[in-house]
Every structure is written in C-alpha cells, then in structure tokens.
C-alpha cells in the first residue's frame, strides 16, 4: 500500500527531525525483502513514549507499559515502540520489567527470529546484526540467540516458529527445532487465545498442510493449556492446500473432520480454543450439514430433504459443505448420496428464498387471519409456507400466500 508507506515515512521523518533515532522494524522489513505485501508498518525508536505522544496529533497508548504508542496518520495506524530490553520473565510470558535502552541492536536481539530482527533506516539501509537476510535467502526460521532460552522466555514463540515456517514454506533451523521439542511442555503457560491467533494465521497461509504436519510432529496441541490430542487423517489433510486461503472456514471444517470430530465436538473444541462465536458457528454448521446429509432418508426425494436442510443450516453452510466435499473427493469416510453431491449446488441456487425473513407474509398475518392467539403453531405454519415457497411450489406473493393461509386455517378447523 503506497499511501501507508508514504504517511509512515512522514512519521519516521518527524521522529528523526526531532533528534531521535527511528527505524522500520520486524515484519514490514522482512515482508518487503521477500517481496510480499506489507500489511502493517512498525517503527522502533530511541524516543520515549511520552515524547512520541507529544510529537503527534493523534496517538493511542496501546501498550504504553511496553513502550508502544500507536500513531494515527490519515486513517493509517503505525505502532511506534521505544527501544527496549526485557528483564526477567514471569510465567514464560509478559516481561516483569521493561528497561528502555538507546540501542537498536539490543532491541533487535529481543525479537523472536532472525528474519524478524531486521530494521530499515529511512535511507533504505538495512540493520541486520543477526543475519536475517542470510536466513531469508536460505529459507530458514532461526531463533535470535540461544533457542532454548528464547522459548523459555516466551513459549508462544514455538507456535510462531511453526506458523512462519508454514506460511513462508521455510525450514526450521536444526537447533531451533530441537529446542522447540525440548521446551514444548511450557506451551501450557500460553493463553489459548494467543495460540489460536497464530493457528489462524497458519491456516490462512499458502500451505497449511505444512504447518499442520509440523504441529503434529511437535505435539504442541497436546501440551496446550486446553490439551488437544491432535491426530488427523493425513490423507485428508493433504487436500487442505487446494482450498483457497479466502475460504479458511472450509479449511477449518476439513481439519476438524480429519481429526474425527463431529459438529458437537468441534463446537466444544473451537470454544476451548477461544474462537469468536461467529467463526465457530460458521465452521460447525458446515459439519452439521455433512452429518444431516449422511443421515438422509433414501426413501424420500433428496431435493426436498436438501431444501429443508438449507433452510435450517443456511445457504452458506450448505454451499460450504458442498465445497468441502469437492475438495475431499474420495478422501471422506462418510457415504454421502451422490445425487446430493452432484445436484446440491443447483438445488440451492434454484431456491426462491433462503430464510423466513424473506417470506412475503409474517406471523402477524397468520394471527390476523386466524383470529386465534399466538403460539408455536404460528411458526409451524410459516415454516410450511417457507418450504413451499423455497421449493417454488408457491410464489413468494403476499396475495397468493394469504389465500393459501386461509385454506390451511380453514382445513385445520
């Protein structure tokens, strides 16, 4: 993003004008060297947080105790962090004390991996005291300094290690991997939310199968705060890279299915792993559809059963499940009716409406016509109408539906 770079440059220049040191640092330097899109730009500076706050009009003290101030500039946000070395660590996370030091190299030394420990000056020159560029060239994830110590300081780095290896398709340096295996049990000190955020990034990357394989070999999930005995079907996992990253919910559904979890178990698992409710429901509803299809009654028209299912689970879940089964091809274990697999998409797209809220009549129409008191029967009647309209047995026309309502009510009486 050119605009983001331009305004970011203004932020950097202002710090320099006022006599401070200031550099681009971390992910943005790495991504630019790799030719990958840069999504956020972080700055490291010798200026104290109070000085940063006084220099810029709009700032947010996002992590002031860690020396981080977010500078807002033309709707872009830049995280400006004062150089620091971290003191003792508490419970393998969170520094106890943070001392500010005017030393770029010290700041870089506290970063996790060599490829993340580079800074770029405003003139474009790269500060790279830990040979990050060399490791970028070799495609290696390597801890800055002694890997075991670094994982002891912050166990989340073990998951980040696997995440970066997966997203970039990099190898893990031998000592770093050995240290990860040796320290894996300390992953239980990491909040599930932080673990989950890294997993999401892994799953949204190019080749999640790689990271999932590394996770399996590392046994990190089994040692997490909420342990998960992770033993996926490898043949199914192999298909996960075929699903585009933009359809990450389908990737998640495949992963859970490959782990042998049903919709209910998946719902619990995703809850334990602190997934936001919306995403959690999106993922489990895909598995719900699969379970319902597996239980369809061969003696009844599949199209009817499918339409009811779409109305219950939602159009997106139904289409997502069809996508998932396309990717799994014969990799699934369930015997799904081929008629549904072949026609499900067309049946879905031919539906007139997908939700009660789209129906041309509502509960109050039913009540007015019947003159009876409300109750569950109203929903029952509306649902019958919904199914008929969705299946195009009736038009979604208020007049026609009212006539139909009159007929139904009079025959019920």
Does 223 participate in binding ligand ATP (rule CB under 6 A)?
Answer: no
From the CB of 31, what's the least distance to ligand ATP, in Å?
7
> Which CB atom, from 114 or from 396, has the smaller least distance to Mg ion?
114
Does 27 participate in binding Mg ion (rule CB under 5 A)?
Answer: yes
Residue 70 burial class via C-beta count within 10 angstroms: exposed 0-12, middle 13-18, buried 19 and up: middle
Piece of 23-31, 117-125, 242-250, 299-307 that binds Mg ion (CB under 5 A): 23-31
Q: Which residues contact 47 (CB under 8 A, 6 or more apart)?
A: 15, 18, 20, 22, 55, 80, 82
Footprint of ligand ATP on residues 63-92 (CB under 6 A)? none
Q: At what angle do helices 398-412 and 363-370 cross, to 10 degrees?
A: 50
Would you give the binding string for ligand ATP spanning residues 130-169, x where CB under 6 A is met? ------------------------x-xx------------
* CA distance linking residue 118 with residue 126, whole number of Å: 7
Q: 157 is in the binding site of which of Mg ion, ligand ATP, none (Cβ under 5 to 8 A by kind)? A: ligand ATP
> Which CB atom, from 120 or from 157, has the smaller least distance to ligand ATP?
157
The half-sphere exposure of 387 on its side-chain side, counting CA atoms within 13 A, is 13
Does 26 participate in binding ligand ATP (rule CB under 6 A)?
Answer: yes
Q: Which residues contact 393 (CB under 8 A, 6 or more apart)?
A: none
From the CB of 118, what's the least distance to ligand ATP, in Å?
9
With CB under 6 A as the contact rule, the residue among 111, 120, 196, 210 that binds ligand ATP is 111
Q: Are 157 and 185 in contact (CB under 8 A)?
A: no
Q: 116 is in the binding site of which of ligand ATP, Mg ion, none (Cβ under 5 to 8 A by kind)? A: ligand ATP
With CB under 6 A as the contact rule, the residue among 116, 176, 209, 266 that binds ligand ATP is 116
Mapped onto helix, strand or coil, the DSSP state of residue 333 is: coil
Does 8 participate in binding Mg ion (rule CB under 5 A)?
Answer: no
What tokens does 42 get? 């972080």
Q: Residue 275: phi, psi to the nearest 5?
A: -70, 140
Piece of 25-33, 102-110, 193-201, 236-244 that binds Mg ion (CB under 5 A): 25-33
Q: Are 361 and 382 in contact (CB under 8 A)?
A: yes
Does 221 participate in binding Mg ion (rule CB under 5 A)?
Answer: no
Q: 156 is in the binding site of which of ligand ATP, Mg ion, none (Cβ under 5 to 8 A by kind)? A: ligand ATP
From the CB of 188, what's the least distance to ligand ATP, in Å?
16
Mapped onto helix, strand or coil, the DSSP state of residue 352 is: coil
Piece of 24-32, 102-110, 267-275, 322-330 that binds Mg ion (CB under 5 A): 24-32
Does 207 participate in binding ligand ATP (rule CB under 6 A)?
Answer: no
Q: Which residue, among 61, 56, 26, has the nearest Cα to 44 in the 3D structure?
A: 26
Does 211 participate in binding ligand ATP (rule CB under 6 A)?
Answer: no
* CA distance linking residue 5 with residue 68, whole number of Å: 20
Q: Are 212 and 255 in contact (CB under 8 A)?
A: yes
> Which CB atom, from 18 or from 39, has the smaller least distance to Mg ion?
39
Q: What are the distances in angstroms from CA 232 to CA 62, 257, 272, 402? A: 39, 8, 18, 53
DSSP 189: G
Q: Are 309 and 289 in contact (CB under 8 A)?
A: yes
Give residues in contact with ligand ATP (CB under 6 A). 26-27, 42, 111-112, 116-117, 154, 156-157, 201
Give residues in contact with Mg ion (CB under 5 A). 27
């Amino acid at each position: 993003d050119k605009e983001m770079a331009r305004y970011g440059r203004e932020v950097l220049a202002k710090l320099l004008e006022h006599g401070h040191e200031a550099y681009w640092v971390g992910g943005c330097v790495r991504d630019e060297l790799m030719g990958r899109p840069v999504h956020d730009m972080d700055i490291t500076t010798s200026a104290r947080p109070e000085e940063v706050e006084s220099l810029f009009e709009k700032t947010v003290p996002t992590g002031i105790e860690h020396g981080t101030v977010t500078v807002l500039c033309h709707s872009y946000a830049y995280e400006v962090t004062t150089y620091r070395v971290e003191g003792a660590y508490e419970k393998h996370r969170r520094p106890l004390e943070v001392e500010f030091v005017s030393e770029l190299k010290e700041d870089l030394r506290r970063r996790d991996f060599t490829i993340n420990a580079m800074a770029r000056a405003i003139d474009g020159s790269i500060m790279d005291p830990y040979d990050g560029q060399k490791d970028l060239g070799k495609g290696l994830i390597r801890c800055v300094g002694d890997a075991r110590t670094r994982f002891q300081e912050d166990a989340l780095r073990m998951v980040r290690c696997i995440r970066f290896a997966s997203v970039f398709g990099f190898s893990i340096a031998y000592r770093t991997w050995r240290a990860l295996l040796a320290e894996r049990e300390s992953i239980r000190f990491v909040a599930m939310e932080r673990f989950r955020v890294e997993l999401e990034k892994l799953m949204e990357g190019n080749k999640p199968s790689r990271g999932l394989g590394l996770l399996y070999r590392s046994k990190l999930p089994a040692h997490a705060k909420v342990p998960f005995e992770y033993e996926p079907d490898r043949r199914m996992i192999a298909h996960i890279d075929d699903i585009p990253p933009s359809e990450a919910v389908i990737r998640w559904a495949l992963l859970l299915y490959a782990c042998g979890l049903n919709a209910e178990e998946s719902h619990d698992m995703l809850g334990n792993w602190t997934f936001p409710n919306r995403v959690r429901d999106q993922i489990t509803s895909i598995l719900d559809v699969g379970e319902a299809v597996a239980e369809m009654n061969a003696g009844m028209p599949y199209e009817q059963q499918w339409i009811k299912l779409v109305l219950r689970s939602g159009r997106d879940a139904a289409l997502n499940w069809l996508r998932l089964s396309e990717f799994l091809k014969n990799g699934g274990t369930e015997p799904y009716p081929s008629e549904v697999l072949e026609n499900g998409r067309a049946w879905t797209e031919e539906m007139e409406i997908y939700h009660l809220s789209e129906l041309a009549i509502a509960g109050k129409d039913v009540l007015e016509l019947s003159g009876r008191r409300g109750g569950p029967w109203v929903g029952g009647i509306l649902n019958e109408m919904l199914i008929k309209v969705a299946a195009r047995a009736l038009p979604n026309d208020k007049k026609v539906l009212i006539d139909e309502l009159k007929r139904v009510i009079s025959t019920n009486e």
